[in-house]
């Protein structure tokens, strides 16, 4: 148990569906992240939020829409996805985004949502 | 973008053997982290390294932050079946705060 929870753990959806992934962190952290993990690829950073403000959007298609209503919750809204979007979606959090070089802060991951798009 | 070269990509070893994997980069990193990921789960932090030359142990795991700040290794001694999984190195660059750059992972398989 890392203090970061994600729901649902598994999701199967059609290309015309709309669904949302939820992430909650119980660590009092200020920064939250969405990653995509596809088979045989390194983790891909999708979005970064710091103090509920989006600070990074790594050229992610608009069919993925993040939302951070408060520092403990992060959502990823999905609509009109493609089969190639099937992957493990991981949420992570860290105390802060901008760390001093001497900081011991680091990222903690949730268990992920396994998404299958039919 | 910045890349971390992690090797080997996979290892198949006998229970009881020692394991070594490493990550290298052409860039200087402030932090080196080692994560383990079990099937269907998120990465779990194993060891974090914050100073060049630092050598840190966590049970049977030992990791070092290279003196040049461009590499790190992870050793697992006396492997057991539950060591099976994918091991990722990750690092933070001096200008990127807590944004992580990940290696491609090392898949470890242990034969009982």
Per-residue pLDDT of A25-80, as tens digits, reads 999 999 999 999 998 778 889 999 988 888 877 789 999 999 999 999 999 999 99
Distance CA A115, CA A113 (A): 6
Q: Poorest-confidence range of A47-56, A78-87, A96-105, B42-51?
A: A96-105
Find chain B residues with C-beta within 8 A of A51's C-beta: none
Does A112 have pLDDT greater than 90?
yes
Query: For residue A81, what are its two tokens?
Result: 């996805």
Residue A31 CA: distances (Å) to CA of A25, A105, B43, B85, B96: 10, 11, 17, 27, 13
Facing residues of B32 across strands?
Answer: B49, B91
Instruction: Report yes or no: A42 at the B interface, CB cutoff 8 Å.
Output: yes
End-to-end CA distance of chain A: 31
Q: Do B92 and A45 touch (CB under 8 A)?
A: no
Integer-rounded Cα Rg, in Å, for chain B is 13
| B residues 47-76 closer than 8 Å to A (CB) | 48, 50
Contacts of A58 in chain B (CB under 8 A): none
Q: What is the mean pLDDT of chain A?
A: 89
Would residue A115 be called left, alpha or beta, if left means φ above 0 and alpha means ψ between -120 and 50 degrees? beta
- For the cut 60, the answer to whether the pLDDT of residue B112 exceeds it is yes
Angular region, B59: left φ>0, alpha ψ -120 to 50, beta rest:
left
B110, pLDDT greater than 90: yes
Structure tokens at A105: 């802060």
Close Cβ partners of A16 (under 8 Å, ≥ 6 residues apart)? A80
ω into B8 cis (within 30 of 0): yes
């Amino acid at each position: 148990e890392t203090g970061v929870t994600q729901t649902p753990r598994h999701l199967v959806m059609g290309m015309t569906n709309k669904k949302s992934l939820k992430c909650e962190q119980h660590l009092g952290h200020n920064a939250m992240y969405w990653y995509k993990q596809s088979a045989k690829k390194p983790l891909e950073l999708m979005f970064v939020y710091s103090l509920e403000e989006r600070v990074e959007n790594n050229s992610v298609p608009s069919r993925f829409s993040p939302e951070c209503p408060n520092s403990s919750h992060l959502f990823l809204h999905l609509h009109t996805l493609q089969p190639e979007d099937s992957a493990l979606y991981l949420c992570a959090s860290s105390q802060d985004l901008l760390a001093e070089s001497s900081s011991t802060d680091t990222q903690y991951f949730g268990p992920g949502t396994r998404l299958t798009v039919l | 973008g910045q890349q971390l070269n992690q090797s080997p990509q996979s290892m198949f070893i006998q229970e009881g053997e020692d394991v070594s994997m490493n990550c290298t980069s052409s860039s200087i990193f402030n932090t080196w982290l080692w994560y383990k990921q079990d099937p269907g789960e998120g990465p779990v932090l194993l060891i974090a390294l914050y100073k060049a030359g630092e050598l840190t142990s966590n049970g049977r795991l030992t990791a070092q932050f290279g003196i040049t700040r461009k590499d790190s290794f992870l050793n697992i001694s006396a492997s057991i079946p539950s060591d099976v999984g994918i091991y990722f190195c990750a690092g933070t660059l001096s200008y990127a705060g807590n944004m992580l750059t990940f290696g491609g992972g090392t898949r470890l398989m242990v034969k009982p």
